[in-house]
Copies of this chain bind each other. A is one copy, B any other.
Amino acid sequence: MQPRASGASASLMTAVVLRRLNALKTLSPAQLQRLAPLGERTEVVAPGAILQSEGGAPIRPSFILSGWACRQRLLRDGRRQIFSLLIPGDALGFHIEPRPLSRISAVALTKVVLASAEPLLGASISSGPHASAANESGAFDEHMRLSTCLEDGLLLDHVVRLGRQTAYERTAHLLLELHWRWSLIGPVDDRRFIMPLTQEVIADFLGLSIVHVNRTLQQLRREGLIEMSGSQVGLLDLAQLTVIADYQPQVLHPTP
């Protein structure tokens, strides 16, 4: 799946997290320094593994260094709805407050490498009389707040997709969203990126059947809008896809 993901050095993989945090809000030198030990404590999780179950113990705060995961809920009869797709750079287990989305069950979709986020939490917790000083010197409250807002914003887009868009529009929208998110964690090479998702996962995310996802992707390919080979996707006509999906990238709210 991830080409030589396991071979990549930890520092190379943590770069993803740095870029992601930096995209939300510029990292200060002090913060960069605090992030140095990030790749030291990592954990590898097998595909299909449950990172967190609904109502169960929350996962420890961590970042995805590589691999994909999702948040999901199952209906009694086995139908599954995926709420969000988690890609490298995304955070998991930050329960700043027990917001419902972060208590939903989370599952690894591929092999996932997690980095513990302990180094970031130190400062946030010690919010004593020197709280503001701690902030200056490297706390990440604001970054995690923005990250939460981003995820919530994506969830709102998801509601619109599911409620008011056709399969064709939904699929285009999803691809644009992933393309945009991918651009947060690194330059996207020629509008191509890796999407190691089975059509079943895409179906459970977009509220469609597997077969119909297959046909919709084919249609997009046939029309020259996208290109797929293996788990690599290429968006050949961003402009038209954007029109089809009525896509508007998330706005990252800076603090007023």
User: Are B246 and A156 interface neighbours, CB within 8 A?
Assistant: no
Within 8 Å of chain B (Cβ to Cβ): is A155?
Answer: yes
Closest B residue, CB atoms, query A152: B100
- Contacts A98-B149, A101-B152 known; A73 to B162 CB distance under 8 Å? no
Closest B residue, CB atoms, query A253: B98
Q: How far is the CB of A251 from chain B (nearest CB, A)?
A: 8
Which listed residue, B55, B80, B165, touches A164 by the CB 8 Å rule?
A: B80
- Cβ contacts under 8 Å, A156 to chain B: 73, 83, 100-101, 104
Query: What is the bound-complex CA distance between A206 and B164, given in angstroms?
Result: 9
User: Are B76 and A159 interface neighbours, CB within 8 A?
Assistant: no
Query: What is the bound-complex CA distance between A81 and B165, given in angstroms?
Result: 10
User: Are B207 and A75 interface neighbours, CB within 8 A?
Assistant: no
Query: What is the bound-complex CA distance between A186 and B58, given in angstroms?
Result: 34
Query: What is the bound-complex CA distance between A256 and B58, given in angstroms?
Result: 13
Chain A 158-178 interface 0/1 with B at a Cβ cutoff of 8 Å (1 = within): 111011110000000000000
User: Are B99 and A152 interface neighbours, CB within 8 A?
Assistant: yes
Chain A 114-158 interface 0/1 with B at a Cβ cutoff of 8 Å (1 = within): 000000000000000000000000000000010011001101101
Query: What is the bound-complex CA distance between A171 and B11, given in angstroms?
Result: 51
Closest B residue, CB atoms, query A95: B256
Closest B residue, CB atoms, query A156: B100
Closest B residue, CB atoms, query A256: B98
- Contacts A100-B153, A156-B101 known; A163 to B207 CB distance under 8 Å? yes
User: Are B159 and A158 interface neighbours, CB within 8 A?
Assistant: yes
Closest B residue, CB atoms, query A84: B159
Within 8 Å of chain B (Cβ to Cβ): is A79?
Answer: yes
Q: How far is the CB of A181 from chain B (nearest CB, A)?
A: 15
Query: What is the bound-complex CA distance between A108 and B46, given in angstroms?
Result: 48
Chain B CB count within 10 A is highest, among A77, A80, A162, for A162
Within 8 Å of chain B (Cβ to Cβ): is A189?
Answer: no
9 residue pairs of the A-B complex, CB under 8 angstroms, read A79-B164, A81-B159, A81-B160, A98-B149, A98-B255, A100-B149, A155-B155, A155-B159, A162-B163
Q: Which residues of A contact B (CB under 8 A)?
A: 55, 73, 75-77, 79-81, 83, 97-101, 104, 145, 148-149, 152-153, 155-156, 158-160, 162-165, 206-207, 246, 251, 253, 255-256
